[in-house]
Amino acid sequence: MKRATGLMAISLLSGALLMTASCTNRTAMDWQSPQYQDSKFVNRAGQVDSGDGNLGKILKRWLFERRTDPTPADALPIQHPTQAELAATSGDLALRLGHSTILLRLDGDYFLTDPVFVDRASPVQWAGPKRFHAPAMALEELPPIKAVVISHDHYDHLDKATVRQLAQTGTHFYTPLGVGQRLVRWGIDAQQVTEMDWWDSVTLGSTELVATPAQHFSGRSLWDRDSTLWASFAFIGSHSRVFFSGDTGYFDGFAEIGERYGPFDLTLMETGAYDEMWSGIHMSPEESVQAHRDLRGKAMIPIHNGTFDLALHAWYEPMERALAAAESDNQQVLTPVMGQTIQIGQDNLTTAWWRALESEGPELAATAPVAP
């Protein structure tokens, strides 16, 4: 039964991808960027291991590999802060709302990263990876957002319905090259969108936002691979410096970012959806901690985990391995529950909260990943 469910899910997702391909704007842009070569955006290292050459093996593993705890058996502990509670907390703040959706407060202004508030990270809401939990704050519960920062165009980082709803509040969107064009095609006012190349910076109040390099890929259909850029971001406030990794493999760019803009008071590091078969585009937890060191980070929160099942590891494994990797030289890794308020630059108490949850035990995969 589980095997049949997996086959059905893969069939539905393949159909959904084909359906969205027909809706893709295929007009080539002549981007004047060092990252744009031969009508595609590229990584600093050129072609990296994204698993494309092993699609058959990956599909076989998703269908038949026995897995341990792909999803939580119990409801996850979630905190649901209110605007009043946030206002009553002093200083610069960071809250995980889910996956890579982070609410930041720097110098009194709120920023939101990679907002996905829908049930599934998928082209459609009737198939694809389903959330383990509701967002820690609903869209209508958010404080006024000064800027929404989007790292790339994959479905678990960019959701059409979510950004359309956010656009109605008048907020501004900052994206890598090409991603903003998607938003405009979705009906968002071009005056609300700013596209950025690597190392571009803008000043937002008293915070400088810098688009920094990452090692990944892009695309939302079968026909638009690498037609838009991907990026990480540095937030340079008056009192705090925060790094947001987006999605990335490990590369030498972290050391350069650390030299230019570090040390960082907080790094929000992609730690999830990894596998040796696509090691060039997602970091292992050990690599995430090493990237944090390269950035000269003081405290790290592992993100890109705990919300969607996008790889073959146990849902809690990224956090366990990140904590273990940090022990060798006492790196500070924080593992807040979703919605827990982290005061940047202050002492914060977090726990290994997932250890108290009941395990499901080994089972076959029931869904296939969508462009993690």
Say how many C-beta atoms besides its own lie within 10 A of residue 34's C-beta: 11
Give the Cα separation of 126 and 242 in Å (integer): 36
State residue 56's pLDDT score.
Answer: 84
Higher pLDDT residue, 61 or 237? 237
- Nearest 5°: the CA angle 208, 98, 372 is 90
- Greatest distance between any 2 Cα atoms in the chain: 56
pLDDT at 365 over 70: no
Give the Cα separation of 2 and 316 in Å (integer): 22
Give the Cα separation of 85 and 339 in Å (integer): 12
Higher pLDDT residue, 333 or 65? 333
State residue 331's pLDDT score.
Answer: 96
Q: Residue 4 — very low, low, confident or very high, per pLDDT cuts 50/70/90? A: very low
Give per-residue pLDDT as tens, 80-136: 999 999 999 999 999 999 999 999 999 999 999 999 999 999 999 999 999 999 999
3-state SS string over the chain?
CHHHHHHHHHHHHHHHHHHHHCCCCCCCCCCCCCCEECCEECECCECCCCCHHHHHHHHHHHHHCEEECCCCCCCCCECCCCHHHHHCCCCCEEEEEECCEEEEEECCEEEEECCCCCCECCCCCCCCCECCCCCCCCHHHCCCCCEEECCCCCCCCCCHHHHHHHHCCCCEEEEECCHHHHHHHCCCCHHHEEEECCCCEEEECCEEEEEECCCCCCCCCCCCCCCCCCCEEEEECCCCEEEECCCCCCCCHHHHHHHHHCCEEEEEEECCCCCHHHCCCCCCHHHHHHHHHHCCEEEEEEECCCCCCCCCCCCCHHHHHHHHHHHHHCCEECCCCECCCEECCCCCCCCCHHHHCCCCCEEECCCCCCCC
Does the 2-16+49-364 domain belong in CATH 3.30.300.20? no
The verdict on pTM exceeding 0.75 is yes
Closest CA to 307 of 135, 97, 71, 98: 98
Of 49-58, 178-187, 218-227, the one with minimum mean pLDDT is 49-58
Question: What residues contact 190, with CB distance under 8 A and at least 6 apart?
Answer: 184
Mean pLDDT of 244-266: 98
Residue extents of the structural domains in the chain? 2-16+49-364
pLDDT at 13 over 80: no
pLDDT at 369 over 70: no
Q: Residue 8 — very low, low, confident or very high, per pLDDT cuts 50/70/90? A: very low
State residue 15's pLDDT score.
Answer: 35
Q: How much is the mean pLDDT over the chain?
A: 89
Give per-residue pLDDT as tens, 213-233: 999 999 999 899 999 999 999
